[in-house]
């Protein structure tokens, strides 16, 4: 599959994972997204986006076996691949060049 544009939601998910630190599983991602966007986020949508981003090679994941002190729950941890970070940088550059000089209007 060729380079497909990053969807808005995919973009948000990538940024959230980055914000949450090196590795994260879906629960903090959902909660953080809700916190930051102020909207209700469907766990299903996050799950689908994570799966899709992993397929695109922007994320990678590993299953972590339950350790005794974590309440015995299995979790899938995601982390950004270099390609993912590259895509974020790229879209930020694009956005920056597009918004350059528009601050007076956009901040208002």
Partner 1 sequence: MRRTPDTVGPPRVAAWLLTRYFARRGRHELADELAELFLARVQSRGLFRARVWYWMQLASFPLHQISERFRHHSPAPSRDPVTRRRRGTMLGSFLQDMRYAARRLRQSPGFTAIAIAIMGLGIGANTAIFSIVNAVLFKPLPYENPSELVRIFTTEDDGETPMVSSYPDFVDIRDRTDLFSGAVAHSAMIVSLLNDEGAETVFVEYVSADFFEVLGLSPALGRGFDSREDEFGASEAVAIVGHQAWQGRHGSDPNIVGTTVRLNGRPVTIVGVGPEGFSGSMIGFTMEFWMPWGTATLIDSDMRRIVQSRGSHSLSVTARLQPGVTVAQAAAAMELLGRQLTEKHPDTNTDRNIVTMAAADVRLHPFIDAVLYPVAGLLMAVVGLVLLVACTNLANLLLVRASSRGREVAVRLALGATRRRLVSQLLTESTLLGAFGGAVGLALAYWTAMFITSFRPPVGFPIAVDLTLDVRVLAFTVVLSIATGAIFGLAPALRASRPDVVSTLKDDTRPHGRVRRRFGLTNVLVVSQVGVSLVLLIAAGLFLRGLLTAQRVDPGFETESVAIATVGHLMGGNGEEDGREFLYELARRLETHPGVSAVALADRVPLAASLQTQDVIVDGYQLPAGTDALETDYTAVTPEFFDVMDIPILRGRAFNSHDTEASPDVAIVSAAMARQIWGTEDVVGRQFRWGPADPPIEIVGVAQDTKVRTLGEAPRRHVWLPFAQEGARLLFVSVVAATTGDPGAMPEVFRREVKALNSSVPLFEAKTMQQHLGIMLFAPRMAAFLLAGFGILAMVLATIGLYGVVAYSVARRTREVGIRVALGADRSRVVGMVVREGMTMVSIGVVVGLGLSVVAMRPLAGLLNGVSVVDPVTFVGVAVLLTVVALAASYVPARRASRVDPMVALRYE
Which residues are near partner 1 by CB under 8 A?
25-27, 30-31, 42-45, 47-48, 51-52, 63, 73-76
- Dihedrals φ, ψ of 77, to 5°? -95, 135
The least CB distance from residue 90 to partner 1, in Å, is: 23
The least CB distance from residue 51 to partner 1, in Å, is: 8
Alpha carbons 9 and 39: distance in angstroms, whole number = 12
Nearer to partner 1, 37 or 99 (CB): 37
The least CB distance from residue 91 to partner 1, in Å, is: 21
- Dihedrals φ, ψ of 81, to 5°? -85, 160
Nearest by Cα to 6 from 101, 103, 80 = 80
Nearer to partner 1, 38 or 104 (CB): 38
Alpha carbons 50 and 58: distance in angstroms, whole number = 9
Nearer to partner 1, 74 or 95 (CB): 74
């Amino acid at each position: 599959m060729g380079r497909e544009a990053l969807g808005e939601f995919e973009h948000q998910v990538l940024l959230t994972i980055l914000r949450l630190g090196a590795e994260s599983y879906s629960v903090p991602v959902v909660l953080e997204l809700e916190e930051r966007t102020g909207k209700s986020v469907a766990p299903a949508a996050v799950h689908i986006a994570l799966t899709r981003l992993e397929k695109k090679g922007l994320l990678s994941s590993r299953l972590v076996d339950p350790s005794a002190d974590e309440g015995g729950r299995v979790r899938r941890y995601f982390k950004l691949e270099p390609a993912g970070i590259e895509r974020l940088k790229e879209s930020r550059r694009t956005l920056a060049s597009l918004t350059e000089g528009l601050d007076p209007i956009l901040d208002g």
